[in-house]
Structure 1
């Protein structure tokens, strides 16, 4: 089916006049991009850098076909911080790798995804020009915090999902191996059915870890299940 270019152009012209500083405008945008989502996904946070208040706001959409790195999802994040584009790009990549790139819903993939971060510099801070700037780590941390928040909302709204599961691997030789272990466990159909049935079948989890294709000694593994407030060793 041909792309409805004329309709899109007319829609842009119609909506340009609706740009607003009203606090509700962001929520309107968050709702406008939804497809199979059941609720809008948005977030806001602020923090201080050098006495200047920095704001970060974001919206996202996504519910199905979330795998393995983003997939059918969109996220738009804005900030008033002053930062060099090349430095911002590095912060975005690191933050995406630790948020949108480590979620999965159904194991089905898509190429229709994007995360865009826009900064206008209106906060008035001296521009962050390198990763060595002492202010950079805090900004990167807060950007990552926003992306993790939005990524969790996407998983919470997964098509047909009834559970929200977080996996945490510690003690792996490096981050790459930890990611492969988490991916193998979270993608396992047997683990998913165990979680759906609320059956603490730890054998399925260990087995999935053994299928990750990385060195894995089950005799040295400690496995904990539960919520964030109370984890139980099994």
Structure 2
């Protein structure tokens, strides 16, 4: 990890010369900043970069700062083009998970009208579930089932779920109504469990937020 810091484009002030800005400029916070993605996979797509190079030792505050900045970026992009309404994030840590840089960064994008892949399938499935079950909320019922089986951990207003239908091994889900401090606490707890207890140093993380307009 220390070796990778030596010529890192994202460390210190290097990013000011080695990364691009979005069309509305660069957003910065105390612990993170944005950098326009060179290889965009959507019209609105950027990087949220932590000022801490070492993903394996992020603090809860550093995690929260990145997500707070992501929320700011979503609002900025949406204010410019309101046809782009579907916010998503992807976080690959370490090369084994597909990360192109060792330095802590996550990908954020605002999709046009629909989400990507499995997330959109879940959203459409939740709508159908409500239609055929007298308006019941799919996500609430999903949570209730896992609570009944003892597969959840509540952290304030969010829930960590060891869910029944994982795509990959060691898959964990966090469900909550808002992206706020309880979510950051839960995510930090999962990171520390993976790194400190399970000796897992590489991970992939995906998340979607509600549409900018419901």
The reply to whether TM is greater than 0.5 is no
TM-score (structure 1 length as normaliser): 0.26
Structure with more strand by fraction: 2
